[in-house]
Structures are given as C-alpha cells and as structure tokens.
Structure 1
Amino acid sequence: MLPIIILLVLSVVIGVFLGKFFGSQQKFAKNLLILSAGFLITVCLNEVFPEIYTSDIKNIGLFVIAGVLLQMLLENLTKGFEHGHFHHHHEQKNILPLALMLGMFVHAFLEGIPLANETDVFSPYLMGILFHNLPISFVLGAFLSQKKMQFSTSSLLIIGIFAIASPLGLMLGNFFNPAYKVYFLALVGGIFLHISSVIIFESNKNHNIDYVKILMVICGVALGMFGHLFHAH
C-alpha cells in the first residue's frame, strides 16, 4: 500500500512543479490534458467498464450516470480545472480557495477508494489515476503561479489536501466490504468518462479539424492500450 500512496502523492507534486515552470505554455498544457484524456478513456473502456458490467449487479449503470452528474456538480466548485480552464480571468476571480479545495478533494478522494487492497503498482486503474493527476496538478501549479501564490500558506494547503485525498480514500476503502468496490468503481468510471470526453470533444477553434489534438488522443490511447496489454501478460 505504501508504494501506491507514494506514487499518488508524487504524481501531484510533479504535476504542480511542471505547472509552475511551464504553465505559461498553453499548447503544452493543452496537449498534456488531451494525452491524458486519451489514456483515461482507454482505461475506462478496457478496465473499469468491463469490471463493473461483468458483475452481477443490476442497474450498475446508474452509478456510472451518478458519477457523470457528480462531476458536473464538482465543476461548479473547480470551475473546469480538470479541463484546463485556468486562463480565463473571469473564471479565476470566481474560484475561492475553499471551493477549489473541496471540489478537488472530493474528486480525488473518490478515485482513491477503489484502490483499497490494491498491491499492483502497475494496475491500469492506478496508472489511469496517476496519468490523470499530472495534468490536473499541472493546471493547479500554473494557476497558483499566475496568482503569485506558489509559496503561500493557502497554496501549500491546497496542494497538500489534493495530494493526500486519494491516499485517504484508499485507506478508508480498506474498511469497506470488498463487495462495495464495484459501486465506487462505477461512480469513478462516470467521473473519468465525463472528464475525458469533455476534454476530447470540446469544440475546436472555428470548428476546424485539429490534427495535433487527434494525434495526442491517439498517443494517449496507444499508451493506455500498451498498459492494458502489458498488465494482461
């Protein structure tokens, strides 16, 4: 369990530092988000959904839908951080530290619960969370740098809370009946599906075909498939 916790925390710390130094490069941030979205949706379709839909639980799809709706509600707090929406000044002004902390904590905390009792550091689901944490943390680091808060107490608190959220979810999950895992996995699957699909299918400028975006999605999918095939063997 400890190696997984360390990986979860490191993914946030590394993402924040990348955002601090490269956050002004909008194309880099956008491509990182799209790459992670391709990876995330591949993990969803190859790992998460097969596991939940091969369970004998009727109407498990309702929990996937609940995850989609929950993420929509959380975005009212995070203002689209998960999608890289941090360059719009009117949105930044509406983001309160408390709301941002709450939205990101709930999001990451729920993702950590299905990791309970996980021992495989190469688990595709864990890789999906790590890959997902990097761009979100990147956006967070870039936002804090823009607000000149990178070393303030409030910024360190926000980063710290986000970094420990998934590990806390993992530890709490150890106290649940293992049979409940599929419900939380379905909920997180809905969250993943919403985030990745919004990033991938957001309208391109002037509705032109963005070949770089398509390439980034393909690369993300390829990485996800590589992880899936590697883990299967």
Structure 2
Amino acid sequence: MIIFLLILSVLAGVLLGKFFGEKEKFAKNLLILSAGFLITICLNDVFPEVYSSKHHNVGIFVIAGVLLQILLENLTKGFEHGHLHHHHEEKNILPIALMVGMFIHAFLEGIPIANEKNIFNPYLMGILFHNLPISFVLGAFLIHKNKFSTSSWLVISIFAIASPLGMLFGNYFNSDYKPYFLALVGGIFLHISSVIIFESNKNHNIDWMKILMVICGIGLALFSHIFHSH
C-alpha cells in the first residue's frame, strides 16, 4: 500500500504539472505549502525521533544531510525548489546529471520507511506531500505539445520507483541504523524547506500569500501529527 502511495503521489504531481504547468503562481504556492508541511514534520516528528534514539553523534548525520543536499543541487540545479531550466527542453528529456540527483534524493527518502506499516506516519506523509511539487515541476518540464513522449514516461517512471526502491533497500539494514538514515533525510528536508520558505522576495516586500501557504502547510502537518498520535 505504501509503495502504491509513493508512486501515486508522483503521478498525481506530474498530471498537475501537465494541466497547470504554465501557472507559475500555482506552482509557487504548491511548493511553499509543501515546504511549510515539510519543515513542521522535521521539527515535530523527525528530529524528536532522531534525538530520542540516543545514538551517538546522530546530529552529525543531520548536518551531513544538509551538506549532501547542497552537493545534490549541483546536479539538480534547484529542481526541488521549483527552478525550471529550459536549456534542455528541446530534447524533451532531463539531463542525465539531473536525473541522477533526483533519483538519489528520492531513493534516500525511502530508506527510513522500510518495514513501515502505518500509512499515516508523519514522515511518510512528508514524503508524499514533498513529491507533489517536485513531480509538478517534472510534469511541467517534460510536457511537449500537450503530451508526454516515451522518453518522458521513462524519466517519470525512474523517479516514481526511486523511493519504493529505497524502501525495499532499507529492509537489508539493521533497524538500529534507522535513526541515522532518518537524520540524513531530515537534514535534506530541512535544507530544501528552509530555502523555499526563507529565500528573499525579489522586491523585499511582505508576501502575504507566501505566509498564508506556509501557515496552511504547518497546519496540515500538525493535523497529521495529532492524528498519528491518537
């Protein structure tokens, strides 16, 4: 069921990108909403679980996650933040480096949910919510003449199965290592969400819609936390 939800979240985002990809404001609001959700999940669920595990030096893995995401962005060029780059659009396929960076990102996200049975797990909800805007950008990028090419579907499929593969790969690790992987991905999430939320507005004015989207994302994450706690 979880594998199905992971794949479905990617496909849903891709279809949204197909039909609303030209609506830049819609894409921006979706990203900010997911960032508010993601950072709340990190601070309210992921990090408390990581530090309550009492594993030695687990905080280093959070920092490593931040640094890893910075390195991955040299491959993805900020795709996770909704930054579209059209210099390869005429080929209707993403650059190989970008595909590799996105795959690694999604694969690592899947490892901590190995053996997870609860579909309302806040961390899982964070991944599903996070998949929507990334897949939205992916769908908007790959659409050509109102349809997807065979190569486009190949790229979408590779991204869609990355987290499920990470989840299956995680089954081979001792469960004692879960906090380390969770800390690593928590650092990745923290970097992505903070960049989206705190990057400066071009005109340096207060963006009330941005604030509203962040608050809505936080509210949804808190609801997920409360629901899971009960």
Same fold (TM > 0.5):
yes
- 1:79–1:57 Cα change, 3 Å: same
**Mind listing any 5+ residue stretches in structure 1 that lack a counterpart?**
none
Give the alignment's Cα RMSD to 1 decimal. Answer: 1.6
Residue 163 of structure 2 corresponds to 166
The CA deviation string for residues 116-144 of structure 1, in whole angstroms up to 9 with x for no partner, is 01000111111000000000000100111
Please say if residues 47 and 124 of structure 1, whose CA atoms lie closer than 8 Å, have aligned partners that are also in contact. yes
- 1:159–1:226 Cα change, 3 Å: same
> Aligned AA for 2:130?
H
Please say if residues 150 and 156 of structure 1, whose CA atoms lie closer than 8 Å, have aligned partners that are also in contact. no
Alignment TM-score, normalising by the size of structure 1: 0.94
- 1:58–1:105 Cα change, 3 Å: same
Are 2:196 and 1:216 aligned?
A: no
**Mind listing any 5+ residue stretches in structure 2 that lack a counterpart?**
none
Residue 74 of structure 1 corresponds to 72
Share of identical aligned residues, percent? 76
Looking at structure 2, the residues matched to 148 and 56 of structure 1 have their Cα atoms a distance apart, in angstroms, of 53
Residue 103 of structure 2 corresponds to 105
Deviation (angstroms), 1:97: 2.5
Aligned residues: 228
Please say if residues 32 and 213 of structure 2, whose CA atoms lie closer than 8 Å, have aligned partners that are also in contact. yes
> Aligned AA for 1:225?
L
Deviation (angstroms), 1:55: 1.5
Deviation (angstroms), 1:153: 2.6
Please say if residues 61 and 186 of structure 1, whose CA atoms lie closer than 8 Å, have aligned partners that are also in contact. yes
- 1:102–1:18 Cα change, 3 Å: same
Alignment TM-score, normalising by the size of structure 2: 0.95
